[in-house]
Amino acid sequence: MDASLHAERLLSTRRSGYSLPQGFYNDPMLFDVDMKILFHHDWLFAGHTCEIPDTGDFLTFRAGAAEAIVVRGADGDIRAFHNACRHRGSRICQADKGSVPRLVCPYHQWTYDLDGRLLFARDMGPGFDPAGHALKPVHCETTAGYIFVCFAEAAPDFGPLRTRIEPYLAPHRLEQAKVAHQTSIVERGNWKLVWENNRECYHCSGSHPELCRTFSDGPTVTGVERADSDAGLRAHWDRCNAAGLPSAFSISDDGQYRVMRAPLLGDTESFTLSGRPASVKPLGGVAEPRIGTLMLFHYPSTWNHLLRDHAISFQVTPLGPQETRLTTKWLVHEDALEGTDYDVQALTEVWNATNDQDRRLIEQNQLGVNSPAYEPGPYSPDHENGVAQFVDWYCAALSARLGGSKRLVAAE
């Protein structure tokens, strides 16, 4: 069966307000559609600008079969290229990150400048034109310390994303931060189950004792509805806005990305077991105490928490129909000294525990979804409206990009 037709047929069986039909979570054909239609079409979070501060610094980022080299050029600009040599296609950069004066393919030593131009190709004959064999570019944009790439031939307009999120992120000055710690774990679950788990805190009180010391599981904080009617949230926004920190709930027209600043519980200030700051040097020199957490979500690849003392980015990378890598990075002020200004264990222990707890939940969820007894179940309108919003975005995006003129109508 044609994969696109298969996806359209399955979409037509989807019931609004319920979890997805089984195939969306375990069918290899549907996974391939997800990669081609979503991950190879959308802007994806690739890393932070502070990870490649100097000329020649690079990181690699993979989504399915596509892989980008993201490198800082001699002019200071950050560019991205497909990590495939123009000779016989070998990978050029084989490390996750590093620093090089030139991009040299280890197979036959074809050598490229940091702007992608081919500089050297040995013994290719008198008719060979180096100008016709530059590295193929990947769309690359930066905003407030975040790097996004898009593997599509024609990328969606990045402007609306930058306009909406940059005012919220800018006060934290992540360009002047550093990655204090990084982890990657593989979760044996479909990438959509990873997102669905993240988009609700219905499970938090029973599963995340460390996180619940400081983070509210209230629906107006974790969901996408009724935030404006929450007096506590509005008071928090007013206080942060007065300090020059944009805070109110803001979501894109298509629901793909959103930002909001939320208070932490009681007098806590950070995601630590004590509730006290994990680093004594504020990001960006933010003076206002107890600003809570700025939450940024961008489907399909990242969610984030930016606090006064540190920031945490989460990167979702599908590896297979039932396997997803979650990479977590903790960022602190670039001048913060480990052991003096921050302690890595105190900085990371809450989210290390939470990530592992979520991994177990997702893996058990996947095993249950695989059961022949599985059928889509209803979402809680109070606690799981964020999950419903993610699933609605996914179905709408997939349906539109499959090229059908029919609007998706939920089954009765």
Span 131-154, average pLDDT:
98
Distance (Å, whole) CA 203 – CA 76: 45
Please check whether residue 133 lies inside any domain of the structure. yes
Please check whether residue 395 lies inside any domain of the structure. no
pLDDT tens track for 273-322: 999 999 999 999 789 999 999 999 999 999 999 999 999 999 999 999 99
Q: Is there a single domain that holds both residue 218 and residue 122? A: no
pLDDT tens track for 47-62: 999 999 999 999 999 9
Q: Is there a single domain that holds both residue 104 and residue 233? A: no
Please check whether residue 13 lies inside any domain of the structure. no
The rounded mean pLDDT for the chain is 96
Containing domain of residue 117, as a range? 44-150
Q: Is there a single domain that holds both residue 164 and residue 239? A: yes
Structural domains in the chain (count): 2
Please check whether residue 173 lies inside any domain of the structure. yes
In which band, very low, low, confident or very high, does the pLDDT at 92 lie, cut at 50, 70 and 90?
very high
Query: Can you give the pLDDT at residue 407?
Result: 37
Least confident of 38-52, 122-136, 186-200, 397-411: 397-411
Kindly state the helix (H) or strand (E) to which residue 222 belongs, with its residue range.
helix 219-222
Span 95-106, average pLDDT:
98
Q: What is the CATH number of the domain that holds 88?
A: 2.102.10.10
Burial of 64 (0-12, 13-18, 19+ CB in 10 A): middle
Span 103-125, average pLDDT:
98
Query: Can you give the pLDDT at residue 355?
Result: 98
Query: Can you give the pLDDT at residue 1?
Result: 64
The pLDDT of residue 412 is above 70 = no
Which of 119, 150, 181 delimits the end of a domain?
Answer: 150
The pLDDT of residue 253 is above 80 = yes
Query: Can you give the pLDDT at residue 225?
Result: 95
Give the rounded percent of residues in the chain with a pLDDT score beyond 70: 98
Query: Can you give the pLDDT at residue 285?
Result: 78
- Greater confidence (409 vs 394) lies with 394
Tokens for 296?
Answer: 């940024």
In which band, very low, low, confident or very high, does the pLDDT at 8 lie, cut at 50, 70 and 90?
very high
Query: Kind of pairing, strands 293-298 and 118-120?
Result: unpaired
Q: Is there a single domain that holds both residue 63 and residue 115? A: yes
Query: Can you give the pLDDT at residue 111?
Result: 98
Please check whether residue 405 lies inside any domain of the structure. no
Q: Is there a single domain that holds both residue 241 and residue 344? A: yes
The pLDDT of residue 31 is above 90 = yes
DSSP, collapsed to helix, strand or coil, labels residue 281 as coil
End-to-end Cα, the chain, rounded Å: 26
Q: What is the pTM of this model?
A: 0.96
Which of 132, 150, 168 delimits the end of a domain?
Answer: 150
Please check whether residue 26 lies inside any domain of the structure. no
Q: Is there a single domain that holds both residue 197 and residue 143? A: no
> Exposure string (b/e) for 76-102, b if CB count within 10 Å is 16 or more?
eebbbbbbbbbbeeeebbeeebeebee
Q: Is there a single domain that holds both residue 130 and residue 168? A: no
Q: Is there a single domain that holds both residue 134 and residue 164? A: no
Q: Which long-range contacts (CB under 8 A, 24 or more apart) does 367-371 make?
A: 369/22, 369/25, 369/26, 369/190, 369/193, 370/22, 370/25, 370/26, 370/322
The pLDDT of residue 410 is above 60 = no
Q: Is there a single domain that holds both residue 229 and residue 279? A: yes
Q: Is there a single domain that holds both residue 223 and residue 281? A: yes
Q: What is the CATH number of the domain that holds 197?
A: 3.90.380.10
pLDDT tens track for 147-199: 999 999 999 999 999 999 999 999 999 999 999 999 999 999 999 999 999 99
Q: Is there a single domain that holds both residue 60 and residue 125? A: yes
Q: Is there a single domain that holds both residue 132 and residue 173? A: no
